[in-house]
Amino acid sequence: MITGAAGGLGSALADALAPTHTLFLAGRPSSRLDVVAERHGASTWPVDLADPDSLASVVEPIVELDVLIHNAGVAYPGRVAESTVEQWRSTMAVNVVGAVALTLELLPALRAARGQVVFINSGSGINASPGLAAYSSSKFALRAFADSLRADEPSLRVTSVHPGRIATAMQEDLVAYEGRDYDPEQFLSAQTVAQVTVDAINAPHDAHIHEVIVRPH
């Protein structure tokens, strides 16, 4: 299962995993999500991480799951003094609480498969980024949740992927906030981050990759 599967990195993850995995593409229903699903003959799952109470009924049919990739996320560019409580609440609701809630609902299916949970984190989850106060805080929290899950669920493999800035629509918004011209060549491609993530997923079963850090060359 890939959350945020309609986005730039989500669709790249789907493309990279389609040859070896049956895909469950999770996200809010949209034509973009449908396009990714049609490309791979995959199923879509109407997952709204901002509404954790809705998740149980959506994922209830899943009894075994090899891989859960937490890719969905939101970001509101802004320094601390520019941010609002509502932005913090929304960021934490999707990036942290939603990821926790979905993991808890799928934990029996993951245990049954002795599966893997992958968190697409960020460089901001290691060093806080200027102008991304709420986002950075949420990614630190997500990293801590991944570490806790790894410690508490020894049958699972848990991997945090910390890419640098990726050429996506979210990045365009951030560059606009910074008042600069957007040049995708300055950033990692979604395909590169997807491939690095897939390499961690496909690592031999006696290898438990805790953390992957990827930066533009």
The 10s digit of each residue's pLDDT in 180-216 is: 787 777 788 999 999 999 999 999 999 999 999 999 8
- pLDDT confidence of residue 36: 96
Nearest to 68 by CA among 164, 159, 142, 163: 159
Which fold is adopted by the domain 2-214?
Answer: Rossmann fold (3.40.50)
Strand order in the sheet with 2-3: 43-46, 24-27, 2-3, 67-70, 116-120, 157-163, 211-214
Q: What is the dihedral of CA 121, 55, 104, 149, to 10 degrees?
A: 0
Residue with tokens 């149980």: 56
Rounded percentage of the chain residues whose pLDDT exceeds 70:
98
> Confidence band (pLDDT; 50, 70, 90) for 38?
very high
The pTM score is: 0.93
Q: For all residues of the chain together, what is the average pLDDT?
A: 93
Helices (H), 28-132: 31-40, 55-59, 85-92, 99-113
Domain boundaries, the chain: 2-214
